[in-house]
């Protein structure tokens, strides 16, 4: 059972989420942006992870990841890999606001497994 779905939606609609210390609305825009990191593939995060597919509810607690058979440490490293490989873009700085916003949105989406505000498989 999901607890407090109305609160989760309310947090998503706020420009800043104190729960994550990041801008979830901006994170959603980055998730849908095929030019994230100056990407050139035409893909966005939603291409491979539509509605949070394969993110998982423990994304904020995991430290070890396996992406395409490659071991990675931490969500930041995974995001950088996806931008460089799938999007064919340039890495975000690990401590940048963009990284914080995107990571917060990915964590939120992994827990919820659905964002009613997301269009179906659409990069913008």
DSSP string of 49-97, one letter each residue: SGGGTTT-TTTTT--EEEETTEEEESHHHHHHHHHHHTS--PPPPTTSH
Indicate if the pLDDT at residue 29 is higher than 50: yes
Provide the whole-model pTM. 0.80
Topology of domain 5-112, per CATH? Cytochrome Bc1 Complex; Chain D, domain 2 (1.10.760)
Average pLDDT, the chain: 83
Nearest to 62 by CA among 110, 28, 25: 110
Confidence band of 6 (pLDDT split at 50, 70, 90): very low
Instruction: Please give the pLDDT value at position 121.
Output: 60
Domain locations in the chain as residue ranges:
5-112
Indicate if the pLDDT at residue 61 is higher than 50: yes
Dist. CA 80–CA 83, nearest whole Å: 5
Q: What is the percentage of the chain residues whose pLDDT exceeds 70?
A: 81
Q: How many CA atoms lie within 13 A of 10 on its CB side?
A: 6
């Amino acid at each position: 059972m999901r607890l407090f779905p109305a609160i989760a939606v309310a947090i998503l609609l706020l420009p800043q989420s104190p729960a994550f210390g990041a801008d979830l609305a901006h994170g959603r825009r980055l998730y849908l942006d095929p030019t994230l990191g100056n990407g050139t593939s035409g893909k966005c995060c939603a291409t491979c992870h539509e509605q949070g597919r394969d993110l998982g509810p423990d994304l904020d607690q995991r430290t070890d990841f396996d992406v395409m058979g490659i071991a990675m440490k931490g969500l930041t490293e995974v995001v950088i890999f996806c931008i460089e490989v799938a999007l064919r873009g340039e890495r975000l700085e690990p401590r940048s606001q963009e990284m914080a916003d995107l990571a917060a949105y990915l964590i939120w989406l992994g827990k919820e497994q659905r964002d009613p505000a997301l269009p179906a498989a659409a990069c913008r």
